[in-house]
Amino acid sequence: MSEETKINTPKSETSSNARPMPELERYIFEADPYTSGAVPRKLDASEVAKFLIEKIKKDTPLKSLLRVEDVARFYETAEANEHFKTFLDKKEGGEEDVRRSAVIVRIIGYSANAEDVKFVSQYYKYLVGRADSADEFEELIVAHATLGLGEGSTELSQKLQTKALALSAKKDSDYQARVEYQKYSEDLAQKIFRASRVQSIKEKILNIGDRKKRLDEEIKAYLSLEYGFMEYLQPWATGRLRRETWAIQPAEQIKRTDNAKLQEDVAQAFRNFLDKIKEIKEIEREDEDSIRLRILRAIEFFGGKVSDDEESFLKNFKGKQLDILANEGFGLNE
């Protein structure tokens, strides 16, 4: 799991009675590469879950499943997990199927309850045993980080080492083998190293008992300040900040809910952080507007207010920059 909290997952219903959601249908099934990450906003999360249960099938194409992953994370649709579990039947026919199953493992693993954690972790290991191509390993490396397996799980890194060793004998005489060897021994090896190391940082942040301090660290991770591992830590922090509106402490954040006071806390934490921009040496002066934009959008996302000057600033950048904790930006204003 990407954090210690395991989300309760109700059983899916036989009939979801999903409402039509044309904007979601376009995002998932048309999958315009220019709108990747721009999940349609302001939809009812429970209705989104019903939509996923009704519309997503075992043979849904990989490019659409990747969009489903975006949607499931943004709307925290844990109630769809039972539906997705039925796809993991160990009947993968080839590379495309293995990659799809890796994405499904991530979707479930992101919000798995205690009952499902063992299942998706074991299925991940099964997929590692099935994987043979670099593309399959790419998907599984992301799954490793999503499941929060850290440095204690070595099956994937060992499989990558074995692949690199087999290619090593051919790399001096075979150009293609040399290219693949570099892919496994350098690129993929570095990615699994990062996916394993990031878990200790997540756990350190989660273990901060002081809510205000924890929110500060989660905001830094969301803004990619003072932390590395941006490709794993930023999306994790995005989810953490949303769950901070469910309950006071991570262990209690097990059910998607709307708590106005806790939302206000998160908005205020971003407001407090806004005043620190000029003090953070890591922020280049030319990046200040981008950081300020991300913070102001997050303040509004969590129900906070902005001043008239700040509203003018937001309007000037309305169609610029895609931020997850935001209701406007690139791809969201058409």
Q: Give the pLDDT confidence of 5-42 residue by residue, as tens digits.
A: 445 444 444 345 788 999 999 999 997 888 888 999 99
Do the domain assignments include residue 203? no
Show the CA angle centred on residue 100, arms to residues 99 and 101, nearest 5°.
Answer: 90
80 & 9 share domain: yes
323 & 233 share domain: yes
194 & 315 share domain: no
Give the model's pLDDT for residue 11: 45
What's the whole-number mean pLDDT along residues 137-154?
96
Closest alpha carbon to 333 in 311, 323, 322, 318: 318
Last-in-domain residue among 198, 231, 265: 198
Give the model's pLDDT for residue 5: 47
283 & 324 share domain: yes
The rounded distance, in Å, linking the Cα atoms of 72 and 140 is 18
Neighbours of 275 (CB within 10 A): 9
What's the whole-number mean pLDDT along residues 242-270?
95
As for how many domains the chain has, the answer is: 2
85 & 164 share domain: yes
pTM, entire model: 0.91
**Range of 117's domain?**
1-198
Residues 44-57 have pLDDT tens digits of 999 999 999 999 99
Q: Is the pLDDT of residue 300 over 70?
A: yes
Last-in-domain residue among 150, 179, 198: 198
140 & 252 share domain: no
What's the whole-number mean pLDDT along residues 268-297?
86
148: left (phi over 0), alpha (psi -120 to 50) or beta: left
**Least confident piece of the model among 28-37, 117-126, 181-190, 212-221:** 28-37
Give the model's pLDDT for residue 334: 52
180 & 327 share domain: no
The rounded distance, in Å, linking the Cα atoms of 242 and 184 is 36
- CA quadruple 184, 149, 147, 140: dihedral, nearest 10: 10
DSSP state of 63: H
Last-in-domain residue among 140, 167, 198: 198
194 & 224 share domain: no
Structural element, H or E, at residue 12: none
What's the whole-number mean pLDDT along residues 221-235?
93
> Confidence band (pLDDT; 50, 70, 90) for 122?
very high
For the chain, report the end-to-end CA distance as a whole number of angstroms: 35
Do the domain assignments include residue 128? yes
Give the model's pLDDT for residue 276: 82
Average confidence score pLDDT of the chain:
91
Give the model's pLDDT for residue 298: 98
Give the model's pLDDT for residue 10: 44
Residues 151-166 have pLDDT tens digits of 999 999 999 999 999 8
Q: What Cα–Cα distance (Å) separates residue 120 from each residue in 112, 133, 253, 268?
A: 8, 21, 21, 36
175 & 312 share domain: no
Do the domain assignments include residue 269? yes
Contacts of 49 (CB under 8 A, 6+ apart): 16, 75, 77, 78, 79, 80
Give the model's pLDDT for residue 13: 41
Closest alpha carbon to 72 in 95, 35, 103: 103
DSSP state of 10: P
180 & 214 share domain: no
> Confidence band (pLDDT; 50, 70, 90) for 277?
confident
Contacts of 146 (CB under 8 A, 6+ apart): 2, 105, 106, 109, 110
The rounded distance, in Å, linking the Cα atoms of 117 and 157 is 21
What's the whole-number mean pLDDT along residues 204-231?
95
110 & 1 share domain: yes
> Confidence band (pLDDT; 50, 70, 90) for 71?
very high
